[in-house]
Amino acid sequence: MIIQRVVLNSRPGKNGVPVAENFRLEQSTIADTVQAGQVRVKTLYLSVDPYMRCRMNEDTGSDYLQPWQLSEVADGGGIGVVEESKHHNLAKGDFVTSFTWPWQTVAILDGDSLQKLVPQLVNGRLSYFLGAAGITGLTALLGIREKGHVAAGANQTMVVSGAAGACGSLAGQIGRLEGCSRVVGIAGTDEKCSILVQEMGFDAAINYKKGDVAKQLRELCPGGVDVYFDNVGGDISDTVISQMNQNSHIILCGQISQYNKDVPYPPPLPPDIEKIQKERNITRERFLVLNYMDKQEASVVQLCQWIQEGKLKVR
């Protein structure tokens, strides 16, 4: 059977910015027959995520991420429908997902590597299993529960950077659902800021490309910052950290401003910001959602419940 697939064509270099030419779309073939324990799946959705920038390097800088190989098919989170099955637990028409889904139109996969999906849990919106009810939603929920130390009634203010992104937009809403009294987002356009406030229920949002971020932050968080959901790192994070309270908490989710640079993860803070962090006893521990997979099932149930109740808005 002839298929189309996306392979890694070249590497951008550790300090390079990725370009379209780093990838190549090509025709390939897969077997016409499915072996025992396998299924043939048609790809419906693929998730393209920031962490994949690290996989474009020969050395990902991480022990849990494998690099993509040159001229080999790329892979990541994906969803598809079973077209043919020789696996005892999967039937034609079943929807399935995997973290290592190949970027190709049709694939033959080991049935044991796939998780069956129940579309009704997300009101039929299958792609949510790669977003709000998938690894993205789990990252937001478990990040807040494991590293945020949010307590209902404690009058905490949460700031989210990269707040209009897949993870950030959920994190702000979940912060509120878990008990934060004030949630402020940081994003890059007026339109994004407007969506955060009008649709996602954030109290306020700052366009970091306009005006003085530090000044706006002081005005919008008069009591300081208790919880910071950090997706971006760099100057924005330094500004937020400088306004954090004693014994506050950073949820270190991502550092996207640093991904095209050859720096360790998490990147070290500038000396003056590191001094503030230590003096105020601000926690900044690496957070990796894969370390909490024992809580995955219950957390997905919670996320799906919020989606069905309309408490978690998704775009």
What pTM did the predictor assign?
Answer: 0.88
Task: Provide the terminal-to-terminal Cα distance of the chain, rounded to the nearest Å.
Answer: 36
More confident residue, 103 or 64: 103
Q: Is 215 left (phi over 0), alpha (psi -120 to 50) or beta?
A: alpha
Grade residue 180 by pLDDT with cuts at 50, 70 and 90.
very high
> What is the rounded average pLDDT of the residues 211-216?
96
Here the tokens at position 107 are 């694939």
314, 299, 311: which is closest to 128 by C-alpha?
314
Give the integer Cα–Cα distance in Å for 113 and 122: 22
How much is the pLDDT for 260?
67
> What is the rounded average pLDDT of the residues 119-146?
95
Q: Which tens digit of pLDDT belongs to each residue from 138-172?
A: 999 999 999 999 999 999 999 999 999 999 999 99
Picking from 166-180, 205-219, 244-258, which range would have the lowest pLDDT averaged per residue?
Answer: 244-258
Q: Which tens digit of pLDDT belongs to each residue from 6-24?
A: 999 999 998 899 999 999 9
Here the tokens at position 259 are 């991904």
Average pLDDT of the chain to the nearest whole number? 95
How much is the pLDDT for 208?
97
Q: Which domains does the chain have, with CATH numbers?
A: 2-117 (3.90.180.10), 135-309 (3.40.50.720)
The secondary structure element, H or E, covering residue 52 is: helix 52-55
Grade residue 267 by pLDDT with cuts at 50, 70 and 90.
confident
Q: Is the pLDDT of residue 30 over 90?
A: yes
Distances 211 to 79, 222, 248 between C-alpha atoms, Å:
41, 18, 26
